[in-house]
Amino acid sequence: MVKSTLEKESSKTLLEDEKQRARDQWGQDPCGAVHGGEHGFGTREFFEAVERHRYLEYAPWMPEVMGFSQFPGAHLLEVGCGMGTDLLQFARGGAICTGMDLTPRSIAITRHRFSLYGERADFLIGDGERLPFENDSLDVVYSNGVLHHTPDTAGAIREIRRVLKPNGIAKVMIYHKTSLNYWVDVMLKRGIIGGEFLRGHSPQDVMSRWVEYSEHGGRPLVKVYTSRQARELFKDFNEIKIDIEQLLRGELPIVGSLIPEAFLKAMRRSFGWNLIITAVK
């Protein structure tokens, strides 16, 4: 009995430590902030530079695939809103938005951003594994690049389903294991050529160190999933659709500039870094 209690306490401490590392990471290095760095932090120019990079350079597919304009009048929660870049697009599209994040600084930045642009939303500090909402209370729950950092990803998805109304929509992005980024950048470049595996580091250690690289050394938990594993996570939903996106020419050394656009698009939709799950309760 004593051993069991100690094991439970140790497990609880480990989980809380992983969440604290995630909080430290994005408290010190807000996701995407580097792309507005030539402007004063928190200015209109800063936020607009971040938006331009996100939707014009890095992921031009996002507005359509994420459906920023598809939810007018819907009560929408973003789990892990970061600096509010995506949440602001949903608000501009007419959604009634709530932004939630584990990191207090993220909430402060997003609140300021909405005020700067005259948009309205509610904000709260919260944990995606324990959503502070009643059953069947939301129309849409959105989470982009967040749930693969939380220890209990399956539990967080069960929470999303719980708070969604019947026919409510979950739209979640998690990292794709069957991607060029995972096998070329993480496993080959970092793990084998970079010697991380020889130094005794596991693939998860390598991802923690390099996928969300920070000079502050936050090293959050990072997980990856196959399409089959993603479907298993959302198995209690009535409908599941999976899109695969995110592969840039620059991520294909030597041949990237030579590949026809149609072929690159086909590669992206098979071996991209992002699994975007759209699930209907």
For residue 222, the model assigns a pLDDT of 92
Of residues 7 and 123, which shows the higher confidence score? 123
Q: What is the structure's pLDDT at 253?
A: 77
CATH topology of domain 2-176+234-280: Rossmann fold (3.40.50)
Q: Count Cβ atoms within 10 A of the Cβ of residue 58 and give its class: 0-12 exposed, 13-18 middle, 19 or more buried.
A: middle
Evaluate whether 174 touches 147 at the Cβ level (below 8 Å): yes
At 202 the pLDDT is 92
Shortest CA distance to 152 belongs to which of 163, 142, 160? 160
Least confident segment among 15-24, 190-199, 206-215, 218-227: 15-24
What gap in Å lies between CA 167 and CA 140, rounded to an integer? 9
- Residue 122: strand, helix, or coil: strand
* Strand locations in the chain (E): 75-79, 96-101, 122-125, 138-144, 164-175, 239-245, 274-280
In angstroms, the CA 123 to CA 101 distance is 8
Q: What is the pLDDT of residue 252?
A: 85
Q: Above 60 in pLDDT, residue 2?
A: no
Tell me: pLDDT of 122 over 60.
yes
What letter does residue 133 receive in the DSSP assignment? S
User: Average pLDDT for residues 132-158, to the nearest whole number?
Assistant: 97
163, β-bridge pairs: none
Q: Check pLDDT > 90 for residue 97.
A: yes
Check pLDDT > 80 for residue 217: no
Q: What is the spatial distance between Cα 248 and Cα 91, in angstroms, rounded to a whole number?
A: 28
Span of 161-175, 176-190, 253-267 with lowest mean pLDDT: 253-267
Counting DSSP H helices and E strands in the chain, the numbers are: 10, 7
25: nearest Cα among 211, 174, 161, 178: 211
Single-letter amino acid, residue 155: G
Instruction: List, for residues 52-94, the tens digit of each pLDDT value.
Output: 999 999 999 999 999 999 999 999 999 999 999 999 999 999 9
Task: Map residue 276 onto helix, strand or coil.
Answer: strand
Q: Can you tell me the distance from the alpha carbon of 213 to that of 210, in angstroms, rounded to the nearest whole number? A: 5
Pick from 119, 40, 122: nearest CA to 81: 122
Domains in the chain: boundaries: 2-176+234-280
Mean pLDDT, rounded, of the chain: 88
Nearest-5° Cα angle at 119, 117 to 120: 145
Confidence of residue 32 (pLDDT cuts 50, 70, 90): low
Span 210-223, average pLDDT: 74
- Segment 29-37 mean pLDDT: 68
What pLDDT, on the 0 to 100 scale, is given for residue 36? 74
Average pLDDT on 163-177 reads: 98
| Residue 35 confidence (pLDDT) above 50 | yes
The SS3 call for residue 213 is coil
**What one-character-per-residue DSSP string does 21-88 give?**
HHHHHHHHS-TTGGGGTTS-TTSHHHHHHHHHIIIIII-TTHHHHHTTTS-TT-EEEEES-TTSHHHH
CA distances from 143 to 66, 101, 119, 187, 228 (A): 10, 10, 20, 26, 19
What pLDDT is recorded for position 5? Answer: 41
Model-wide pTM > 0.85: yes
